């Protein structure tokens, strides 16, 4: 069987969600997965972006590193991992716009049976990390993705993260994810790759009869 392909699509302005995405990529790669990292593009005006120090510079830096996601990326993947900073306890408009662009694939059932998982960053401890993660479960169910939660399947979950997906708390000064947060993210990447491989093998067995 070929290596599994893991698509990690995220939005990030200050780099916390990006750091989690990179740790998830490391975890998936440690399982032999081929990883594609994509950053959703801005959905607000330049005027809004200029309101906070670092937002324009951060977007320019990340856009130079990561291509914009396309529906073809999702179709080619065996697993799709969505990451977003929380926005009032919910998914960012930027990532949601990408998810909404998958309507054509939804109509054709093209994403049914792929693995799916989620991660987020908030600025405060109870600022909506779990509600943000679960808000992404809703479209994933419609798309037919096999949702991969983390549970407490790894000791790292007793120190950080959530059973729904990796998370970090950036505070008022854009504190990057801690080593404990990153350990959960790496575990998430490994687990998603393992589940995607099992689903792919089961699909190939079913096809071959
Ligand atoms: C419009 C807006 C809404 C936000 N809403 C919340 C929120 O509900 N709860 C929270 O803890 N942080 C909230 N934040 C803060 C970001 O989610 C947080 O700083 C996050 O760590 C940024 O991730 P990034 O570094 O990947 O951009 C909000 C930020 C913006 C700009």
Is the domain spanning 5-208 CATH 3.40.640.10? The answer is no
- What is the whole-number distance in angstroms between the Cα of residue 113 and the centre of ligand 1? 31
Q: If you take atom 1 of ligand 1, which residue's CA is the nearest one?
A: 87
DSSP string of the chain, one letter each residue: -PPPEEEEEE--SSSHHHHHHHHHHHHHHHTT-EEEEEEPPP-S-HHHHTTSTTHHHHHHHHHHHSPPP-HHHHHH-SEEEEEEE-BTTB--HHHHHHHHTTHHHHHHTTTTT-EEEEEEEESSTTSSHHHHHHHHHHHHHHHT-EE---TT-SGGGGTSSBTTEEEEE-TTTTPPPPHHHHHHHHHHHHHHHHHHHHHHHHHHHHHH-
- For the CA of 15, the closest atom of ligand 1 is 25
- Which residues have any ligand 1 atom within 6 Å of their CB? 12-18, 85-89, 121-124, 127-128, 170
- For the CA of 18, the closest atom of ligand 1 is 26
Which of 86, 128, 162, 168 to probe ligand 1 with, by most ligand atoms within 8 A of CB?
86
Q: If you take atom 3 of ligand 1, which residue's CA is the nearest one?
A: 87
Q: Chain-wide mean pLDDT for the chain?
A: 96
pLDDT of 189 reads 98
Q: Supply the pTM of this predicted model.
A: 0.97
- For the CA of 169, the closest atom of ligand 1 is 21
Which of 17, 88, 124, 131 to probe ligand 1 with, by most ligand atoms within 8 A of CB?
88
Average pLDDT over residues 63-91: 98
**What percent of the chain stands above pLDDT 70?**
97
Average pLDDT over residues 37-41: 98
Domain boundaries, the chain: 5-208
């Amino acid at each position: 069987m070929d290596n599994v392909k893991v698509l990690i699509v995220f939005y990030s302005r200050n780099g916390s969600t990006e750091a989690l995405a990179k740790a998830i990529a490391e975890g998936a790669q440690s399982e032999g997965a081929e990883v594609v990292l994509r950053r959703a593009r801005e959905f607000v005006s330049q005027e809004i972006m200029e309101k906070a120090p670092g937002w324009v510079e951060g977007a320019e830096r990340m856009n130079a590193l990561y291509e914009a996601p396309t529906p073809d990326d999702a179709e080619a993947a065996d697993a799709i991992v969505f990451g977003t900073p929380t926005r009032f306890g919910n998914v960012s408009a930027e990532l949601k716009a990408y998810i909404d662009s998958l309507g054509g694939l939804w109509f054709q059932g093209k994403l049914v049976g792929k693995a799916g998982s989620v991660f987020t960053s908030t600025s405060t401890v109870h600022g909506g990390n779990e509600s943000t993660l679960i808000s992404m479960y809703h479209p994933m169910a419609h798309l037919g993705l096999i949702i991969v939660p983390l549970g407490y399947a790894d000791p790292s979950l007793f120190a950080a993260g959530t059973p729904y997906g990796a998370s970090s708390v950036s505070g008022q000064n854009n504190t990057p994810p801690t080593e404990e947060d990153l350990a959960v993210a790496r575990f998430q990447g490994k687990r998603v790759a393992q589940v995607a491989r099992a689903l792919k093998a089961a699909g190939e067995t079913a096809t071959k009869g």
